[in-house]
Structure 1
Amino acid sequence: MNFMWKDGRPVILDGATGMNLQKAGMPAGVCPEQWVIEHPDALKALQRDFVRAGSNAVYAPTFGANRVKLKKYGLDGRTAEMNRELVALSREAVGEGVAVGGDMTSLGLFIEPFGTESFDDIVEIYREQAQALSEAGVDFFIAETIMQLFEARAALLAVRSVSDKPFFVSITVEQNGRMLGGTEPLAALSVMQGMGADAFGLNCSDGPAEIAAIIESIAPYAQIPLLAKPNAGMPCVGEDGSSHYHMTPEAFAAYAPRLTAAGTAYLGGCCGTEPVHIAALAAACAAQTVAPPRAAAAFAATDKAAFVFDAPPPLRPAENESASMADAIADCEADDGEVVFLRLRSEEDAAEFQENQYLLRNPICLLTNEAALLDRALFAYQGRAFVSADGSTDSALAEAARKYGAILI
């Protein structure tokens, strides 16, 4: 099966899973993944309805099937088993002609220095789920409703450690248009396409008009296909606290031409979208051609903002040539888009860079000819850096830059 976008035609994804399962009888407060395993017919009926509506791919109901989420229900010891069972249910529901994606999501954790988890811990949590999804035979991986950039990076690194199947990432933003940690969508796009994501986009967050506006703002910088799974508008909250969505299928699908014109190759729905919304979307996309990715400029990013460069910056002396890494970073208070050059000379430099990186508001260029130091620094850096190998021809330096999406100059 090859459902990957390649011929200019949009790929239709599915709609909401959790909300529709609640309509089918799933009570509030239960573990959704366990409920699906115990009530498989509800999931299979829903996913078959999505396929009949026009979905080329569905997400397996593994959204919260990671050890962190499952631990709340005392099920963390069954992580691998549950992922395999849930993927098998989706495969049984849709058959071999429709792609099944391994669904992963935000963990609700924070990494040091803002929380207690290390970035290594986050990668390992995702790796455990990715391994199970890979063994279950998913056709692609989707990290969706991602709230923080470090989670997207960790999920991609985890997936790439166990599989070469396509990896999509779909972030969600707050009302200010940024991710929970303050990351601009363009910065997230820069980092994720640099690291080799196969598609980037947004889901949940808001309705199709708002999602389309964000997609249009990042499209000129996209080098990979874009993805959109908006809600069916904004919900109305009932007296019992439940959410109700009232956007009609026709109104929802009316944004398809706008999205495809901006390069959105993968389209589906999130909260409030039912099979009828997907049917309307598929019909609206039938005559649409997706604009191909067109960005050529290189652009770096911090964990918050992106910086576009027509050409790589000229090299200059590092800020820490005569100071410690920590002191040099502390002195870099500017927020003017100028590249900050930092030299990695020792493990201490790499450790201080990791600890103090969030003080940096400008793009950076790391200078080093030691591959191990570069790998450690780029693994930890929650942005996209320039790298200069100081004249070294060591292929390990280029490999580290490629793995983490750094721009080698």
Structure 2
Amino acid sequence: MDFPYGQPWLLDGAYGTNLKTAGLSFSDCTEQFILNHPEALASLQTAFLQAGADTLTIPSFGANAERLEQFGLAAETARINAELTTLTSKIAGQRPIGGNLSTAGITLGPESERTFSELMGAYTEQAEALKAAGADYFLIETMTSLTDIRAAVLACRKQQLPILACVTVDENGITASGTSALTCLVVLQELGASAFGLNCSLSPAEMAPIFEELSAFTKIPLIAQPAASMPALRERAGFSLTPEEFANQFIPLFQAGVTIAGGCCGTTPAHIAALRHAMDRFDFSSVTRPHHHRELVLTSVHETFCYELDMLEFSPTLHPSSDMTDAFMEIEQESYDVISVEVETPDEALSFAENDHMAELPVSFLSSDELALKTALLLYSGRAMVDTRSELDPKTLKQIAYKYGAVLY
């Protein structure tokens, strides 16, 4: 779904760090604290609007059943999301409000008994509650794995509202699970995200070179929600930016194509006011984005690959097994471009999904079974190809590829 609001567009700032002044502690359930102190939320959101924000975020960041279960509140998921939406709507007036989703904390993998369907289910329940209560769009943020944010986007997509999707990366543009920000962009924009960006962890200045790379590949608006302050960590220095410093560091982000801006940790209404002033002064019409010139862009689970169609080399066809490490290594040593994988049953698709993180190249799926192909594409976190030699109705094959953002070839 296209981004439906005018650009540039200003989001609001931090909730957690600002609510600490109202008594919020690390041991609290933030969402329940807000419901117990609605006046604190009203004061903060009113200040964000007075600072010039074009929208308000519903403070439902951790209000999925998995996170609420830690406080014995899983059964209250729908109610909590509905009440947070109602509180925000009263302050926003006619302005749009965004349902906020973040990680459910479900770990997937060979050693886990949890499933991708369970992960999607946690986000689906929350997304349904937010839409029913009046959310105008979804803001998915602070995601550190492509698998996690794919599940959230697929869940939110069912609600047919705009989706703003943000990941958190290090200064090299890599998520905690080892995926590049560029790969996240390529995958999520093909799945139907309305806008993509980065939030938390980094200052605006640290985000700038990452957005310079994203700008050449994006088909959708770019979002920046940097932090204004972060504590020092063992591997990096901390920082604390004044509102003016924060806003001034945004200029290279605007020059790189960012048109949706806001703040994460440490950003106060004063930071949002300074950012509003910077946005109003900047000439967004002067920005010309570069564009890559390759015909085909695919990704593995971690990296992005650009190809010319007439130069693609496909590997011999693999069949999924419990351990595909040696098969992947052999193919990669032979300098193929794409790994060809045949999946004939849903169980084979599951077996491949348990191994796909070890594949350094993109994948092309071949199948004569519709459910097997759908399962393979659902579980694969990269942007795959779908082999037209698959023995399925061409129209069906095209629909399946489109649904999961794959390339039919």
User: Normalized against structure 2, the TM-score is what?
Assistant: 0.90
**One-letter amino acid matched to 1:388:** D
What amino acid sits opposite 1:32 in the alignment?
Answer: T
Structure 1, residues 231-268: CA drift from partner, whole Å, max 9, x if none?
0143369xxxxxx9631111100123211221212100
How far the C-alpha of 1:221 sits from its partner, in A, is 1.1
Cα offsets for 1:327-358 (capped at 9, x unmatched): 76641212757111112233443233223222
8 A contact 1:319–1:328 mirrored in 2:
no
Residues 1:272 and 2:263 are matched in the alignment: no
Q: Distance in 1 between matches of 2:31 and 2:80?
A: 8
**Pick aligned residue for 1:75 from 73, 76, 82:** 73
Kindly report which structure 2 residues correspond to 1:189-200, keeping only aligned pairs within 5 A, or say none.
189-200=185-196
- For 1:65, the aligned partner's letter is A
Q: Residue 376 and residue 278 in structure 1: after superposition, are their counterparts in 2 closer, same or farther (change >3 A)?
A: same
SS in 2 for 1:221: coil
1:154-169 matched pairs, under 5 angstroms: 154-161=151-158, 163-169=159-165
Deviation at 1:367, TM superposition (A): 1.9
Partner of 1:371: 370
Pick closer, same or farther for the CA change 1:114–1:283 going to 2, 3 Å.
farther
Match of 1:227 among 214, 219, 223: 223
Instruction: Note closer, same or farther for the CA distance 1:201–1:48 as it changes in structure 2 (3 Å cut).
Output: same
Alpha-carbon spacing, 1:307–1:20, altered in 2? closer, same or farther (3 Å): same
Name the residue aligned to 1:338: 337
The alignment-based identity, stated in percent, is 36
**2:209 pairs with one of 202, 209, 213:** 213
Whole-angstrom distance in 2 between the partners of 1:205 and 1:292? 28
One-letter code of the match for 2:44? L
Where structure 2 has 5 or more consecutive residues not aligned to the other structure, the ranges are none
Given that residues 63 and 80 in structure 2 are in contact (C-alpha distance below 8 angstroms), is that contact kept between their aligned partners in structure 1? Answer: yes
1:128-277 to structure 2, matched below 5 A, reads 128-161=125-158, 163-174=159-170, 177-235=173-231, 246-277=240-271
Equivalent residue letter for 1:365:
S
1:38 correspondence with 2:36:
yes
Alpha-carbon separation, structure 1, partners of 2:105 and 2:346? 30
> What CA distance in whole angstroms lies between the structure 1 residues aligned with 2:43 and 2:36?
14
Aligned-residue offset at 1:153: 0.5
User: Take 2:323 and 2:31, find their aligned partners in 1: how far apart are those partners?
Assistant: 48
Alpha carbons 1:63, 1:104 under 8 Å: kept: yes
| Partner residue in 1 for 2:386 | 387
CA contact (8 A) 1:3 1:99 kept: no
Is residue 2:99 matched to residue 1:105?
no
- Is residue 369–residue 389 contact of structure 1 (8 Å, CA) maintained in 2? no
CA distance in 2, matches of 1:114, 1:190: 28
For residues 312 and 113 of structure 1, do their structure 2 counterparts lie closer, same or farther at Cα, with a shift above 3 Å needed? farther
Residue 49 of structure 2: SS of its match in structure 1? helix
CA–CA separation in structure 1 for the residues paired with 2:246 and 2:155: 34
Equivalent position SS for 1:201: strand
Retained in 2: the 8 A contact 1:200–1:225?
yes
Q: Is the 8 A contact 2:34 2:40 kept in 1?
A: yes
Q: Give the secondary-structure state (helix, strand or coil) at the position aligned to 1:170.
A: strand
Aligned 8 A contact 1:148 1:181 in 2: yes
- Trace 1:9-20 onto structure 2 (pairs within 5 A): 9-20=7-18
In structure 1, distance between residues paired with 2:49 and 2:114: 39
More displaced 10-residue stretch of structure 1: 399-408 or 62-71: 399-408
Deviations 1:119-167 (A, max 9, x none): 1110001111011011011111011000111111100111122x11101
Q: What is the identity, as a one-letter code, of the residue corresponding to 1:183?
A: T
Relative to 1, partners in 2 of residues 1:3 and 1:353: Cα closer, same or farther, differing over 3 Å?
Answer: closer
Residue in 1 aligned with 2:120?
123
2:345, 2:371 within 8 Å by CA — same for their partners in 1?
Answer: no
In structure 2, the partner of 1:29 is: 27
What do you get for the CA RMSD once the two structures are aligned?
Answer: 2.4
Which residue identity lines up with residue 251 of structure 2 in the other structure?
P
8 Å Cα contact 1:102-1:133 kept in structure 2: yes
- Distance in 2 separating the partners of 1:172 and 1:328: 30
Moved more, 305-314 or 119-128: 305-314
- Following superposition, the deviation at residue 181 of structure 1 comes to 0.8
Q: Distance in 2 between matches of 1:262 and 1:150?
A: 27
